[in-house]
Amino acid sequence: MFKFFRRPASDPGAETSAGVSQAATSDAVPTASITGSLGKTRGGLFGAVRNLFRTAGTLDAAFWDELEERLIAADVGAHVTADLITELRARDARRAFASGEDAETALRELLEAILARAGDTGLYLPEEGVGVVLVIGVNGTGKTTTVAKLTRYLQLGGRAPFLIAGDTFRAAAIDQLKVWGDRTGATVFAQSPGSDTAAVVFDGIGAAISRGADTIIIDTAGRLHTKTNLMAELEKVRRVIGRRQAGAPHETLLVLDAVTGQNGLIQAKTFMGSVGVTGLVLTKLDSSAKGGVVFAIAEELRLPIKLVGTGERIDDLQPFDPSEFVRALFS
């Protein structure tokens, strides 16, 4: 039903089929490259992993212990790390790695495979009719900022996003979105603080359709996944969207802060269970945080990362590409 949403690639004729990574189109976004923004990550603990490979003389127990600790330091999580180490050691036992570099290549492949298994990283919005993107997450991960960046991102792709200020709870969240609306030139639909989000969304979609918008992005209040009443509210919002616009939301993006540790997995799991997440947006990747929990999420939930926030400027949003991501970590 949905066509793959095409970005204004330098080569517009290029056919990008579903399932293929977006590395080819990412250079169309006029910002620093993902490799550049990951420089800090690379210099950090994954950098340490890389150095470890370079210096390892023999792959002894101490080597593996240290490798384990460094993966854990990158928030990859105790379980995924243990699996990775077990696999690498098994391979080493079958046929010894000739060098640290060989082990590095193997680890890179394993990490890439985890991310690739998680699924398609493309954004899917219908080419006909209005596409709806619902943005959700716990408090403070950068939902509103992501909505703004996504607006710019989609504008560059030739779309005209219409924003709905669904965060009626946090003080001044509506003002924050309006500021971004002014900066991006996108229309912001808002009602008074404290109003029912589902009602705002219902009216907002109506307003967007009557204005002939092609894309709606809905900001929501941050909520801890443990608050059952707030999760029920979100489920209601999702139902209302579906009722107002058949087939919507086309994308439900969970915004995850790269600083988040192992709780990120529980967050993703809970949001997925209640409203059906289609992809992750990993934010604040420009900090020194590693965001390694995405490996645990990919492994356990098969939930793809679709976009990464790589800076504080409005155009610091990149499509996520698993192989490039891992390559950047080790290059």
Partner 1 sequence: MFESLTDRLQGIFGELRNHGRLSEADVDVALKEVRLALLEADVHFRVARDFVKRVRDRAVGVEVSQSLTPAQQVLRIVNEELVETLGGTAGRLDWTGPVPAPILMVGLNGQGKTTSSAKLAVRLRKMGQRPFMIACDTFRPAAIQQLVTLGKQVGCDVYEEGTEASPVEIARRGLEWGRDRGHTIAIVDTAGRQQVDERLMDELVELRQAINPTEILLVASAMTGQEAVNVAQAFHARLGLTGLVLTQIDGDARGGAALSIRAVTGIPVKFLGVGEKIEALAEFHPDRVASRILGMGDMLTLIEQTQEAFDHDEATRLQKKLLKGQFTFDDFLGQMQSVRKMGSLQSILEMIPGLNQLTKRPEIQAALNEKQFRRVEAIIQSMTTQERALPQVIDGSRRRRIAAGSGTKVQDVNQLLNQFREMQGMMKQMSKGTMPKHLARLMRQS
Residues that bind partner 1 (CB under 8 A): 40, 69, 72-75, 77-78, 138-142, 169-173, 175-176, 178-180, 193, 224-229, 257, 259-267, 269, 284, 286-290, 292-293, 312
Q: Would you say 249 or 292 has its CB closer to partner 1?
A: 292
For residue 153, the minimal CB distance to partner 1 (Å) is 18
- Residue closer to partner 1, measured from CB, 12 or 43: 43
> DSSP states of 96-141 as a string?
--SSHHHHHHHHHHHHHHHHHHT--------SSS-EEEEEE-STTS
Q: Residue 82 in contact with residue 97, Cβ under 8 Å?
A: no
Q: End-to-end CA distance of the chain, in Å?
A: 39
CB of 263 to partner 1, least distance (A): 4
Q: What is the nearest approach in angstroms of partner 1 to the Cβ of residue 224?
A: 4
Shorter beta-carbon distance to partner 1: residue 105 or 274: 274
Q: Least CB distance from residue 283 to partner 1, whole Å?
A: 8
Using alpha carbons only, give the angle 115, 313, 260 rounded to the nearest 5 degrees.
40
**Residue number with CB closer to partner 1 (142 or 319):** 142
Spatial neighbors of 206 by CB under 8 A, at least 6 apart, are: 244
Least gap, CB of 193 to partner 1 (angstroms): 8
Nearest to 152 by CA among 180, 193, 120, 184: 184
Scanning the structure block, which residue is given the tokens 């976009």?
307
Shortest separation between residue 106's beta carbon and partner 1, angstroms: 22
Compute the distance between CA of residue 296 and CA of residue 309 in angstroms, rounded to an integer: 19
To the nearest 10 degrees (0 to 180), the angle between helices 293-301 and 100-117 is 50
